[in-house]
Chain A
């Protein structure tokens, strides 16, 4: 059965303190790995799609990387507005998205 595990569940950082979020997965035939950001009471907002091991994508202070078993979302010099829940999802051979439980990130000013 496809499974996505995100760690840590929650992370509190000071503004400017860089860190990484982890997403480990087991999936039959990975079609893609997706990162989303979700603010309270809102729908997930698309960040990145990664398709193959070794791929990297960047957007502002965020950088996503992918290996055969996990993905990392690196946050460099975060600001308070980066506070949100970050969701990782994998797409399996049946083309369904399987989501992890998310990492709740808080950036203190």
Chain B
């Protein structure tokens, strides 16, 4: 069974630009969560989608948004990039809800210059 896949794996952007990251969950999983990981803050929850609806949101500014498609694939968008947005962005999927074990993808490494 294929795991969670994320594209692209690496990305370099400049301040002010926007970026879209993609996540394909494990087949059959309907819940997708996004996390930001930095050396200083660790892993922080961004938001969770289930059946194309955002069910939970972390404490991030509105520049961070996401969506989920009918096939459970999810995208995350960050607008007006700032230097502090440089991080590893991780996607995790679970079958029905986040109450079940979440399985993580390899992440997208974003560098903002």
Residues of A at under 8 Å CB distance from B?
31-32, 34, 36, 41-46, 49, 87, 89, 91, 94-102
- How far is A97 from B93 in the complex, measured between Cα atoms in Å? 12
Interface residue tally for chain B (C-beta within 8 Å): 24
Main secondary structure of the interface of B (DSSP, over half): strand
If the complex has contacts A43-B104, A43-B106, A102-B42, are A96 and B90 also in contact, measured as CB distance less than 8 A? Answer: no
CB-defined A-B contacts under 8 Å, sample of 20? A36-B104, A43-B92, A43-B107, A44-B43, A44-B104, A45-B104, A91-B99, A95-B48, A95-B55, A95-B56, A95-B98, A95-B99, A96-B48, A96-B56, A96-B98, A97-B33, A97-B45, A99-B35, A99-B43, A102-B42
- How far is A31 from B103 in the complex, measured between Cα atoms in Å? 17
Question: Is there contact, CB below 8 Å, between B43 and A87?
Answer: yes
- How far is A31 from B94 in the complex, measured between Cα atoms in Å? 15
